[in-house]
Structure 1
Amino acid sequence: MSLKKFYSFLLVISIVFMMAACSNNEDASGNNDGSGGGSGEKVELDFWVFGSTGYGDLIEEYKDVAPNVTIKLNEGEMNDVHSNLFTSISAGNGAPDIAMIEVSEVAKFLEASERFYNLNDYGAEGVGGNFLDWKWQQAQSVDGSFQLGLPTDIGPTTMFYRTDVMEEAGLPIDPDALAGEINTWDAFYEAAKTIKEKTGKPIADSPTLVFNAIRDQQPQQYFNEDDELIIEDTVKEAYDFTTKMLQEGLIGQNSLWTPEWGSAMNDGTYAILPGAPGWMIGVVKGNAPDASGKWSLTTIPEGGGNWGGSFLTVPKESKHPQEAYDFIAWLTAPEQQLKSFHGMGLFPSAPSVYEDADFIATTDEYFSGSETARILAEAAESVVPVYMGVNYGTVNTELETAIMNVAIEGADPQSEWDAAVQRIEQQLSRQ
């Protein structure tokens, strides 16, 4: 080979390697042209979710957006999904391409952020403005450099109530009028005494719902950002209020998610579901098919909180992070969130949806024609960010146990609180 040909050969090889390097750098940078197709190769993405999301219909729609991408939807129970995900990422084997994580579990998975792709590398920084600030921050590192997940729904809390029980008690049944009547927790207590006297029924049938409603309004709950336990200063008052009402017979004894709790919605054996999030609309309808027009909703005393909501994440095991990101960015975009709201009642975390005329006009005949979207949107925009902490679930379980021991066994509230604190501290000391 002549020297001239040799140099020409080297030049061609260099150009090939430079083009390949540019291509690889482009993929790694997370550039997204909005097509949802990533590299264009045929890929299959395994997608783990929990609850009733209705995402199957949207996955079908996504085939027109990215025909090269197949989404395999796997639905399970929330605790099982979280447990299986944590086991998989810890072992480095078996995790999906996309995983749903509930807000109370986010802090735990943020601690294992090295097992997930940083969505900022794939375009997340460009879509952060689509979501409520407090929701976006929940899945973000303290310095904002790492984004674990994209927000799906939220759970702004309101007050669902039985119009027939309210009417029997002589209380207003119009949403605005009732909100004016029961605008503080002291007023809630007074209304409870009235309802008990006039109807013989408790104001609420689940003590943990009353506790949760007040807890979720607090700017701090179980831990501060240094992961110090602060429940004496933040939620003890909510516990005392709830157990006082229990001892006076103003709240029932049903545990959440039991058959008894579900059937009571249909039977009208109590007046109010306090602290009910938007996603509970579907829960009530499912448990109380005969109660259409007997339920309504309004704002909760002393402002809204948030209960629930999730994020979509991309574990490091995925071989197709760009395609996975493209899909979840599309799925959580305002347009798709609006469809999820109308289809499954998932309340949007994208505030631009709240300005949509069809959204604002949403009423629900089951809930006596209430302006469900408007009421929930107002609650959502009043929520402040709350640091939940890695051990949120541990604390919550023990406090719920204490409350239910007071409700069912008639245990002494302070003794139960002290015992719960001791159990919590013992468990935290093992971490």
Structure 2
Amino acid sequence: MKWLKVAATSLFATSLLVACGGNDDTSSNDGDNGGGTSGGDQVELVFWEFGNTGYDVLIEEYEADNPHVTINLQNADMNDVHDNLFTSISAGSGAPDITMIEEAQIERFRSVEDSFVNLYDHGAGDVENEFLDWVWRNAENGEGDFLFGLPTDIGPTVMFYRTDVFEEAGFNSSPEAVSELMSTWDEYAQVASEIYNNTGKLITDSAELVYNAKRDQATQQYFNTENELIIEEHPQIREAYDYTTDLIEQGFAGDIPLWTPEWHSGMGDGSYATMLAPAWMQGVIKDNEPEDGIWSITTMPEGAGNWGGSYLSIPAETNHAEEAYEFIQWLTAPEQQLKAFLGYGLFPSAPAVYEMPEFLDYEDEYFGGIATAQIFSEAAQSVEPVYKGRSYYDVDDEMKEALDNISAGADPQAEWEAVIERMNRVLDRQ
């Protein structure tokens, strides 16, 4: 993703060896299952992160106020962080004191709960009310008595749209007017038809984003809590699939793969009207359309979903669980979440931030001077929790292949049957 810093895996692995093989007085990884002491002794905490978080700046602030603590921040590609974390905890050595875990990747680690510190044992219950309920629940185990991590940012989804395309099609392009115009998915499809007929332009350049938006609004997705594939019994994923394939077959939605050069350049050429995407997409759009006031933001039809966001977890190998917890509690507190939002665009998971004057007053001239933060906070508070399951990404990839095949001319019903077969084969191999 554009918003991720990509670090070479070999360099990351080298840094892990240095960090985990150093002085026993300051390194973690002695395997005391989350013990450790607090006090004035010098402590080094190894912290694995991905993305452009700005945490290096906040760490300087924390270290100045806590001179006995040094945070060794190591940044790498998101997939590398998760893969190296799983390898380390499987081997019983090499894990950091603190790690970021992407929200959907939490499922990957639920089966190795004992490899993490239960943050409830360190008083996390005292700060539960500082976070959105659905974000907090996603970090618990099934019984609700184990907490894997404290929430950092989230990715509430909204509708980015090009004002020039809407005006060319004869519509009022204000956020309020566009929101009212497309408050339902049926209205979204109708506007797609009108924009195409009046301008020859698409409603979106990527049908995948429409599918993602509908999928993320579903109250049940691919799996139930027993990790059984349920999309044949539960209708919402099929409805998202049918809706998206209908837009494809009518020629209203494009098929450009996400994150390709063609997809990025499409943001600036005015060939489509909307992009259904999360808060962190703001920076991607700005990078690819230099002119202010062309893109704007409004609510998505029928609510919102969430795409992305992270948690801060403490692997059980650490010798310094108490110091690690004190740091991540500070880093995820509303005051620091506001700083991360204003400085780096990380959207807060702490709703107290939504009432802070600096947040309420935040306007973005690039998007026409509108109060973008308030639009995203409205979306964040409307998200419904949903169980994803540890094989979420594997089966979702198969669905994306199905959409690509339909764009290439495959029959939707035949492809639906084929994607079910592919998903079951993937699950059988696991």
The answer, yes or no, to whether TM exceeds 0.5 is yes
Cα contact 1:204–1:272 (8 A) shared by 2:
yes
Give the match for residue 198 of structure 1.
Answer: 198
Aligned to 1:74: 74
Hey, which bits of structure 1, 4+ residues long, moved more than 3 A?
27-31
SS at match of 2:101: strand
1:421 and 2:420 correspond: yes
Distance across 1 between alignment mates of 2:74 and 2:417: 41
**Could you tell me how far 1:151 is from its partner in structure 2?**
0.2
What are the within-5 Å matches in structure 2 for residues 242-281 of structure 1? 242-274=244-276, 276-281=277-282
Q: Percent identity?
A: 55
Give yes or no for the alignment of 1:283 onto 2:284.
yes
- Name the residue aligned to 1:152: 152
Which amino acid in structure 2 is aligned with residue 281 of structure 1?
Answer: Q
What is the CA deviation profile of residues 293-340 of structure 1, one whole-angstrom value per residue up to 9, with x for unaligned ones?
Answer: 101000000011111111010111222111111111110000000011
Work out the CA distance in 2 between the residues paired with 1:418 and 1:72.
Answer: 49
| CA deviation profile, 1:78-111 (whole Å, cap 9, x unmatched) | 1121111111111112211111111111112122
Deviation (angstroms), 1:181? 0.6
Task: Tell me which residue corresponds to 1:295.
Answer: 295
Deviates more, 1:228-237 or 1:327-336: 228-237
TM-score where L is the length of structure 1: 0.89
The answer to whether the 8 A contact 2:33-2:318 is kept is no
Mapped partners of 2:33, 2:228: distance in 1: 38
Q: CA RMSD in A?
A: 1.7
How far 1:29 moved relative to its partner?
10
Query: How many equivalent residue pairs?
Result: 397
Q: Is the 8 A contact 2:292 2:367 kept in 1?
A: yes
Please identify the structure whose Cα radius of gyration is greater.
1
Task: Give the distance between the partners of 1:40 and 1:267, measured in 2 at CA.
Answer: 58
CA shift, 1:198, in A, is 1.6
Distance 1:171 1:118 in 2: 53
Post-superposition CA distance 1:156-204 (Å, at most 9, x none): 1110000111111112211011100111111111111111112211010
Report the residue type matching 1:321 in the other structure: A
Higher mean C-alpha deviation, range 227-236 or range 179-188:
227-236
Structure 1 residues 222-261: aligned runs within 5 Å: 222-232=222-232, 233=234, 234-261=236-263
What is the CA distance between 1:30 and its match in structure 2?
8.5
| Residues 343-371 of structure 1: per-residue CA shift (max 9 Å, x gap) | 11111000111111221121111111121
Q: Which amino acid aligns with 2:296?
A: S
Give the secondary-structure state (helix, strand or coil) at the position aligned to 1:112: helix
How far off its partner does 1:28 sit? Answer: 10
Please list the CA deviations of residues 119-175 of structure 1 after superposition, one character each: whole Å capped at 9, or x if unmatched: 111121111111011100101012221110000011111100001111111122110
Tell me which residue corresponds to 1:133. Answer: 133
Q: Would you say the 8 A contact 1:314–1:321 is kept in 2?
A: yes
Distance 1:125 1:30, change over 3 A: farther
| SS in structure 2 of the partner of residue 235 of structure 1 | helix
CA contact 1:110–1:139 (8 Å) conserved in 2: no
- Where do 5+ consecutive residues of structure 1 fail to align? 1-26, 32-36
- Structure 1 window deviating more from structure 2 (257-266 vs 330-339): it is 257-266
SS at match of 1:266: coil
CA distance in 1 between counterparts of 2:91 and 2:227 reads 26
Instruction: Assess, with a 3 A threshold, how the Cα gap between structure 1 residues 29 and 410 changes in structure 2: closer, same or farther.
Output: closer
| Counterpart Cα distance in 2 of 1:412 and 1:82 | 37
Distance 2:391 2:34 in 1: 34
The corresponding residue for 1:183 is: 183
Q: Provide, for residues 3-60 of structure 1, a one-character-per-residue CA deviation record: whole Å limited to 9, x for no partner.
A: xxxxxxxxxxxxxxxxxxxxxxxx99989xxxxx932211211111111211111111
Residue ranges of structure 2 left out of the alignment (5+ in a row): 1-31
Where 2:107 maps in the other structure, the secondary structure is helix
C-alpha separation between the residues in 2 aligned to 1:190 and 1:196? 10
Partner of 1:354: 354
**Structure 2 matches for 1:4-403, cutoff 5 A?**
38-232=38-232, 233=234, 234-274=236-276, 276-288=277-289, 290-403=290-403
Per the normalisation by structure 2, the TM-score is 0.89
Q: Secondary structure at the match of 1:151?
A: strand
